[in-house]
Structure 1
Amino acid sequence: MTASKRNVYLKTIPLTEAVAKMQAALDREVLLRSEVVPTHEAGGRVLAEAVFAEYSSPTFHSAAMDGIAVTAKETFTAREGAPLQLKKGISYVPVNTGNPLPEGRDAVIMIENVISVDDDTVEIETPSFPWQHVRRIGEDIVATELLFPQNQQVSPYDIGALLSAGIWEVRVWEKVRICIIPTGDEVLDFEERPEPKPGQVIESNSQVLSAMARNLDCIVDRVPPVPDVPELLEKTVAAKLDEPYHLVIICAGSSAGSKDFTRATIAKLGEVVVHGVAAMPGKPSLLGVCKDKLVAGAPGYPVSAVVCFEELLTPLISWISRKPVPSRPKVNAEITRKVPSKLGIEEFLRLSIGRVGDKYVATPLARGAGCITTMSRAQGVGRIPAQAEGIDQNAIVHTELLVEEKRLDEILVTIGSHDNTLDILSDELMGLDTPMRLASSHVGSMGGILAIKNGSCHMAGAHLFDPETNDYNFPFIKKYLPDTDVTLVNLAIRHQGFIVPKGNPQNIQSIEDLANCTIRFLNRQRGAGTRILFDYHLKEADISPASVTGYDKEEFTHMAVAVNVLTGAADTGLGIYAAAKALDLDFVPLARERYDLIIPTAYIETPQVQAVLELLQSPTFKARIEALGGYETSLTGNIMEPGIGLGE
């Protein structure tokens, strides 16, 4: 096996420059050939040569209306109140739409303007004029004229024009054919439906890229994953270059790791043109030319691979195909929190977007390049320019939409504390006759209250306990939202406690057990209601946070805490019972608490919020909540008032 060297790319270039360099390096006249296809199958294809009409359309003068064909000059005496009589076969001939115009006739009078006198006689009160309601020869198409120039993409309407003009076949550019080669020792072939073990991942990038390529009308094939063996990768790529593909995409192996062989493979089989772009995610993207064909190295992280395809390969495929680069609808949206960024790098920010009041609001999603679900959850993508150090809170971001703009009006924007019941709520909303999509961002209860204050959401989830009043949420609303009229509706009472591995090997029984410095605790982020609850119980037990190992280690959701416990990254963390149950972990109860939805009263009557309020009264919905375990629905759907507490 060949020893590897790390691929250190010290200089990156802007995306547009990378595309331009590849266009200069490729000869698309050699790369993409033309072919002849039947006209009726040419929709979406691009013409490789100009097309001229064989026939005129129509090929004869024809009636454009049902009625009678006349000679216009013989009708000039007709007047209202002084009708003119016409005789069948002598001064008129009955016609239907599309009939050839009878010899000697040059006009058609609509049947609605004809008065029948008897079987052979009619009267008219309005004269006609030459070529009235007549489709003349060549009115639409004239034989020998240019129908369409080269490189025009054939629309459904164009097919009709081509056939009408007697064009049965057209010469078009080939469809771009792509072969995708996944790589990596750790990569499992999804077709075998594997169960991954530690250190292994299920290969999915090829299918993401395949679907994106098919949206561009490409023909796509994929080979099973190739291990990290340089000779084997080179052999596989070389074989595909000998087949009729225009583009070969190597998934992963484009970065600077000791097992990243994509650059070396491209260099050996041809020329590396671009390695490293000034974009995040997507920085390690590779582009090259081998045997006059385009070869790309897509980064292994899924979001990086998506950016590579959208920002580099989509423009190149469109250029090769002679098609315009697809564009997305754009809106201006107000960003809900500050986002720092690196100078010199254009950053692509995945955003959850919805209309709140009279504006669009955009909440940044997780920025990790490995989080493909952020693309699934996003309604749009914003760009932070390379010359900017970030975006300030409440700034306006020019956003490319991943959905139709009208769909933004169907989105219920929820910012605040995470809870598993929100997943059930999301599913139920999508099952309505008029589906509503729940876009939730988990920033903690305090983050939700601040989002309400800034007008950034329709509702916020919160479970903030105030020990002085023994009440939930209202004391915090009084302090932080004194001038905002809100309505609190209970979602559920839930059980919080310590999530521990099956069998509770550390024998954790109470919060006092965390003070011995041997148990690795995983905390929630600052502002989270769960963290506030934990701090309250630490204070009650007279335990210093400094004595809790892992107090400064943070996660943003209950399920993330549970996963860390499941994998051994932590011994315990505070969370809800439903998260422990979902992963078959054990649970040590600590407290019951009330989880409410804080809703600005101004939005109570909106369709999205009304849909939520109706669902909260549904016995089916309540049953689904209780089935999660660790929830009580005695207050679900009730409007909360100060002093209710847990309703006991």
Structure 2
Amino acid sequence: MKRNIYLETVPISEALSTVQARLDRTALVKTEMVPTHEALGRVTARPVYADLSSPTYHSAAMDGIAVLAEDTFSAREDAPLSLSPDKFTPVNTGNALPDGVNAVIMIENVLMQDDGTARIEAPAFPWQHVRRIGEDIVATELLIPSNHELSAYDIGALLSAGIWELSVYEKLKAVIIPTGDEVLDFRDRPTPKPGQVVESNTQVFSALASKWGIEVIRHEPVPDRPEALTEALKNALLSDAHIVVMGAGSSAGAKDYTRSVLSELGEVLVHGIKAMPGKPSLLGIASEEFGSKLMVGAPGYPVSAVICFEELLAPLAAWMSRKVLPARPQVDVTMTRSMPSKLGMEEFLRVSIGRVGDSYVATPLSRGAGMITTMTKAQGICRIPANSEGINQGQTLPASLLVPRESLEQTLVVVGSHDNTVDLLADALMGRDTPIHLASTHVGSMGGLMAVKNGACHMAGTHLFDPDTNDYNAPFISKYLPDADVVLINLAIRHQGLIVAASNPKNIQGVTDLVRDDVQFINRQRGAGTRILLDWHLSQNDIVPSQVKGYDKEEFTHMAVAVNVLSGAADCGLGIMAAAKALNLGFVPLARERYDLLIPRQHLSDPRVQAVLETIRTDAFKERIQSLGGYETDLTGQEMQPGMGLPE
């Protein structure tokens, strides 16, 4: 089977209109009768007219007495009227009105006499406190129009009007087929080997589809063999599903057969959209013998697949089922740093959002299409238009929220150096009676200082060592934030060193070993305090970076460095002892250092910051830090002053 190369990408809007113009939703999505009480979320296929009026009788709208209004017209405050028992009837709210009466006087305005008469001081007017026949619904009137998505309130109205069943459009059904030789079925709880991945995209789609009212059937993973893929697609198209999604194989690799398979059983209308991530997405229509159903080729990378699901499949499914796709709430956010973007491609940028001062600030997260955790960490998505070359630091633009807007008020924005204790803090804050979400962005210690300077965070993690003063952080604050009113609170003293493979098979003992030809190093990103510490140790040993094999290979967290060592991608990397311990790796101690939280003084009274200080000063939290290994808590929670350095 011929390999496919996609060359003509189209904007998302054009992709949608192309499919809508060719897909016959009337023929594809049939109608059915369903019981009214089971019709929540369904869409009416025909207008619904009331069979019954509501109420079906004149009824009392208040507790009191039912009267003929004309019998009360003479009542005055200075000339009360006494009604004989034959002139009124006691009623409760909802009671049918007796014959011959047309008003209700509230019981609060009635004084019952010992002789059985009812004394009133004001007249009633006709139909006072009465729900008349058909006041809410009149039999034969239009109750619900066609193409209306039924709410809980609609169900109540329909039943009140005597509608026991109604015609609605079928509930959409979709089959999703995961593909790939490297894909492992998550139901087997596998342990992946190099080159293998646990299949999860089907479950992301299933969860999203449940919100869209789509019933999903998951096919077992299919290997990259054209005949097997064709057979799986054919069986899915012969089912009662309206949509068939093939996961992965939509790009241009040697084993990307999705386009060929879809073309064999139908017509591909779109292959490639002007969007990042999500570019390889496929849309097509099955041939008539397979019901002219919608076929979708979703990219294999998780974030790309999500874009395909949310930006293509969701609006098409809403259109097919005659539903209105709810728009996500939006807020205007100020970007904390510049991000270039490819001209001609619309980019969906995941961002971390929090309210800092009077503004919402957004920090871009990693762009990798395979990094599903950026979706779990993101509070929103910003769209960079196709005609833009990127966004600038300080620029304000709308962000579509992935979380309730109210949760942003409980989000603590932390920018700077990564440390495992920050993860502990995030968990502890969520365990409070009023949970606080810690949104952390790892841009290195210098990046954290700049975020504080630009008012882009509540606090920054920093561990910058100044060899000239033998002090931490304060000299850098004086240099880069000379006018800033800030405080330094210690989170922990941590042990840095070389993370090596278990049992240290290459016998790496210090930075001098980094120049060996058989040692592959993994570095931290520019601006990271760990990298600055490395550079200082290299200079102390008269080593230039070009002598270190792998110096230019960067990671953004200590755990990422440790994973590189665990996988064999590197022989060693500089990081914290806790990261080595977490993955059962070896550790060669190099230095102790102070990891502090830099906090603008204006935020000290913020309840979110107060919660941090309360938490880290507890014995229980200090014990959790110590349990990680490679930490000391002698200074934890204390305010640091210039010149304090590091205790012996």
**What is the TM-score of this pair, normalised by structure 2?**
0.98
User: Structure 2: how far apart are the matches of 1:117 and 1:603?
Assistant: 69
User: Structure 2: how far apart are the matches of 1:216 and 1:421?
Assistant: 39
Inter-CA distance 642–245: structure 2 relative to 1 (3 Å threshold): same
Uncovered stretches (5+) of structure 2, i.e. residues with no partner: none
Which residue of structure 2 lines up, in the alignment, with residue 50 of structure 1? 47
User: Structure 1: how far apart are the matches of 2:516 and 2:257?
Assistant: 48
- Report the AA paired with residue 265 of structure 1: V
Contact 2:446/2:529, CA 8 A, preserved across alignment? yes
Which residue of structure 2 lines up, in the alignment, with residue 585 of structure 1? 585
How far the C-alpha of 1:552 sits from its partner, in A, is 1.8
How far the C-alpha of 1:517 sits from its partner, in A, is 4.5
What are the residue-to-residue correspondences of 1:226-241 with 2, within 5 Å?
A: 226-241=222-237
Which residue of structure 1 lines up, in the alignment, with residue 255 of structure 2? 259
User: Structure 1: how far apart are the matches of 2:586 and 2:47?
Assistant: 72
How far the C-alpha of 1:573 sits from its partner, in A, is 1.0
Match of 1:196 among 192, 195, 202: 192
Within the alignment, does 1:436 sit opposite 2:436 as a pair? yes
User: Structure 1: how far apart are the matches of 2:412 and 2:496?
Assistant: 27
Contact 1:5/1:258, CA 8 A, preserved across alignment? no
User: Structure 2: how far apart are the matches of 1:242 and 1:620?
Assistant: 59
User: Structure 2: how far apart are the matches of 1:268 and 1:614?
Assistant: 64
Contact 1:188/1:203, CA 8 A, preserved across alignment? yes
Which residue of structure 2 lines up, in the alignment, with residue 247 of structure 1? 243
Deviations for 1:573-596, whole angstroms, at most 9, x for unmatched residues?
Answer: 110001111111101100000000
Which residue of structure 1 lines up, in the alignment, with residue 6 of structure 2? 9
**Which 10-residue stretch deviates more, 340-349 or 565-574?**
565-574
What are the residue-to-residue correspondences of 1:314-333 with 2, within 5 Å?
A: 314-333=314-333
**SS of 1:314's equivalent?**
helix
User: Structure 1: how far apart are the matches of 2:537 and 2:285?
Assistant: 63
Give me the CA root mean square deviation: 1.0
**SS of 1:325's equivalent?**
coil
Contact 2:520/2:570, CA 8 A, preserved across alignment? yes
What are the residue-to-residue correspondences of 1:225-624 with 2, within 5 Å?
A: 225-290=221-286, 291=290, 292-624=292-624
Match of 1:163 among 155, 159, 163: 159
Contact 1:381/1:401, CA 8 A, preserved across alignment? yes
User: Structure 1: how far apart are the matches of 2:587 and 2:186?
Assistant: 34
Match of 1:29 among 22, 26, 29: 26
What are the residue-to-residue correspondences of 1:624-643 with 2, within 5 Å?
A: 624-643=624-643
Which residue of structure 2 lines up, in the alignment, with residue 136 of structure 1? 132
How far the C-alpha of 1:119 sits from its partner, in A, is 5.6
How far the C-alpha of 1:542 sits from its partner, in A, is 2.1
User: Structure 2: how far apart are the matches of 1:492 and 1:119?
Assistant: 86
**SS of 2:113's equivalent?**
strand
Contact 1:517/1:547, CA 8 A, preserved across alignment? no
User: Structure 2: how far apart are the matches of 1:10 and 1:236?
Assistant: 27
Inter-CA distance 470–55: structure 2 relative to 1 (3 Å threshold): same
- Report the AA paired with residue 536 of structure 1: W
User: Structure 1: how far apart are the matches of 2:506 and 2:153?
Assistant: 72
Match of 2:114 among 118, 122, 126: 118
- Report the AA paired with residue 68 of structure 2: T
How far the C-alpha of 1:324 sits from its partner, in A, is 0.5
User: Structure 2: how far apart are the matches of 1:452 and 1:639?
Assistant: 17
**SS of 2:87's equivalent?**
coil
How far the C-alpha of 1:122 sits from its partner, in A, is 1.7
- Report the AA paired with residue 105 of structure 1: V
Contact 1:471/1:643, CA 8 A, preserved across alignment? yes
Match of 1:100 among 86, 96, 107: 96
User: Structure 1: how far apart are the matches of 2:515 and 2:257?
Assistant: 49
Contact 1:343/1:387, CA 8 A, preserved across alignment? yes
Deviations for 1:400-452, whole angstroms, at most 9, x for unmatched residues?
Answer: 00011000000000000000111111111111111011100000000000000
Which residue of structure 2 lines up, in the alignment, with residue 182 of structure 1? 178
User: Structure 2: how far apart are the matches of 1:384 and 1:187?
Assistant: 32
**SS of 2:640's equivalent?**
coil
User: Structure 1: how far apart are the matches of 2:171 and 2:139?
Assistant: 30
Identical positions, percent: 65
User: Structure 2: how far apart are the matches of 1:516 and 1:15?
Assistant: 51
Match of 1:87 among 78, 84, 89: 84
Deviations for 1:108-148, whole angstroms, at most 9, x for unmatched residues?
Answer: 11011111222611211111111110011110011101101
- Report the AA paired with residue 231 of structure 1: E
**SS of 1:108's equivalent?**
strand
Contact 1:68/1:94, CA 8 A, preserved across alignment? yes
User: Structure 2: how far apart are the matches of 1:132 and 1:429?
Assistant: 57
- Report the AA paired with residue 267 of structure 2: E
User: Structure 2: how far apart are the matches of 1:8 and 1:543?
Assistant: 47
- Report the AA paired with residue 564 of structure 2: N
Which residue of structure 1 lines up, in the alignment, with residue 201 of structure 2? 205
How far the C-alpha of 1:275 sits from its partner, in A, is 0.6
How far the C-alpha of 1:86 sits from its partner, in A, is 1.1
**Which 10-residue stretch deviates more, 118-127 or 263-272?**
118-127
**SS of 2:75's equivalent?**
coil
Deviations for 1:18-48, whole angstroms, at most 9, x for unmatched residues?
Answer: 0111111111111101111111111111001
- Report the AA paired with residue 604 of structure 1: L
Deviations for 1:169-225, whole angstroms, at most 9, x for unmatched residues?
Answer: 011111100111000000000011111000110111111111111111111110110
Deviations for 1:526-555, whole angstroms, at most 9, x for unmatched residues?
Answer: 111101111111222222222222222211
- Report the AA paired with residue 362 of structure 1: A
User: Structure 2: how far apart are the matches of 1:479 and 1:636?
Assistant: 25
User: Structure 2: how far apart are the matches of 1:549 and 1:83?
Assistant: 104
Deviations for 1:439-486, whole angstroms, at most 9, x for unmatched residues?
Answer: 000000000000000000000000011111111111111111122111
**How many positions carry a matched residue from both structures?**
644
User: Structure 1: how far apart are the matches of 2:114 and 2:51?
Assistant: 45
How far the C-alpha of 1:514 sits from its partner, in A, is 1.9
User: Structure 2: how far apart are the matches of 1:114 and 1:552?
Assistant: 90
User: Structure 1: how far apart are the matches of 2:510 and 2:356?
Assistant: 43
Contact 2:2/2:260, CA 8 A, preserved across alignment? no
**SS of 1:118's equivalent?**
coil
**SS of 1:477's equivalent?**
helix
How far the C-alpha of 1:277 sits from its partner, in A, is 0.6
Within the alignment, does 1:153 sit opposite 2:149 as a pair? yes
Contact 2:416/2:441, CA 8 A, preserved across alignment? yes
Within the alignment, does 1:68 sit opposite 2:65 as a pair? yes
**SS of 2:627's equivalent?**
helix
User: Structure 1: how far apart are the matches of 2:565 and 2:516?
Assistant: 19
User: Structure 2: how far apart are the matches of 1:542 and 1:119?
Assistant: 114
User: Structure 2: how far apart are the matches of 1:537 and 1:455?
Assistant: 32
**Which 10-residue stretch deviates more, 39-48 or 77-86?**
77-86
- Report the AA paired with residue 225 of structure 2: V
